[in-house]
Amino acid sequence: MSDDILRSGITVAKAAPEDTRYWSVTTIIKALNSSGDALLYWSAEQAALAACDIAKSLPSRIEEEGKETVVKYLRDAFRRGRKGERTAAELGTAVHAACETYALTGSRPEVDEEVLPFIIQFEKWCQKFQPVYTAAEMQVYSDSYGYAGTCDAILSLEGQALIIDYKTSRKSFDSQGKTTKPYPEVGLQLSAYRYADYVATWQARRYEAYSRRYYLCNEDERSLGVPVPAVSGGLVIHITPEHCDAYPVRCDEEIYERFLFAIEAAKWVNEISKTVIGPQLEGGGKNANN
């Protein structure tokens, strides 16, 4: 472990008049929905699990609460953790925090029973590969293209500098008994971080609205930015309760160019598409605008 690790924190804040708003990298990639079938399967599975959890009381709940209310409860199961569990997003955040602490201290942090299997697997991986960290939870900004995001870490393996992202999954094996793996969108994510304009050396600020995440930055903060450390490639570290595996990731200029297209797709989904359909015609000879 390096004793001098580049690291910056995040605060939740409201935008001020002097702030520039940056789209979050993860919000941009989410608009692609390129893992749609896998995510649909996962969300359907969460609804099925929720139905199994309340199977005995399901008829009475339908009678007492109404079919529409129960359907909504099951439909939204993917947004909730099962009883006694974090949601997938909450679990990912907790595991990321534990990995960051390990990177900064070299010691396993105190965690609860839900996170413990993940950090044990991550610790085993670190002991095997002996990574040297040079950055952790590093916020990057692109004035050129108006995005920002948080890179999990930069580390060196056998002297090679790599930009990395942690991915977590409760499932260690798929239905065929094969180890679960990360999705290829991580290449877009890491390329965005790799080719950003600068790194925050201040307490980064961000907020969420309508399930979209944005970062904020003003001129004073921007002047404190430092270049993104050069790397030779990318790595995704996939952590589950039963295994932790690392995979090389393409995040070169060609992949970055595809990420730039994704920015336009996100603008379409989240902004422009909402302006396409005009108000219903009321008659009176008025024509629709072209």
pLDDT tens per residue across all 290 residues of the chain: 444 566 667 777 778 889 999 999 999 999 887 544 556 666 777 788 778 888 888 888 888 888 888 888 888 777 776 777 888 889 999 999 999 999 999 999 999 999 999 999 999 999 999 999 999 999 999 999 999 999 999 999 989 999 999 999 998 998 889 999 999 999 999 999 999 999 999 999 999 887 789 999 999 999 999 999 999 999 999 999 999 999 999 999 999 999 999 999 999 998 999 999 999 998 765 555 56
Provide the pLDDT for residue 8: 63
CATH of 6-34+88-274, one of 3.90.320, 3.40.720, 1.10.3470, 3.40.50: 3.90.320
229 and 235 in contact (C-beta within 8 Å)? no
* Cβ density class 30-57: b for 16+ within 10 Å, e for less: bbbebeeeeeeeeeeebbeebeeeeeee
Count Cβ atoms below 10 Å from residue 13 Cβ, excluding itself: 14
CA distance 112 to 94: 10
Cα angle for residues 274, 275, 277 (degrees, 5° grid): 90
Domain ranges of the chain: 6-34+88-274
Task: Characterize 216-243 residue by residue with b for buried, 16 or more Cβ atoms within 10 angstroms of its Cβ, and e for exposed.
Answer: bbeeebeeebeebeebebbbbbbbbbee
Name 189's Cβ contacts closer than 8 Å, sequence gap at least 6: 25, 26, 29, 149, 165
| Cβ atoms 141, 196 nearer than 8 A | yes
What is the pTM for the complete model shown? 0.83
Count H helices, E strands: the chain? 9, 11
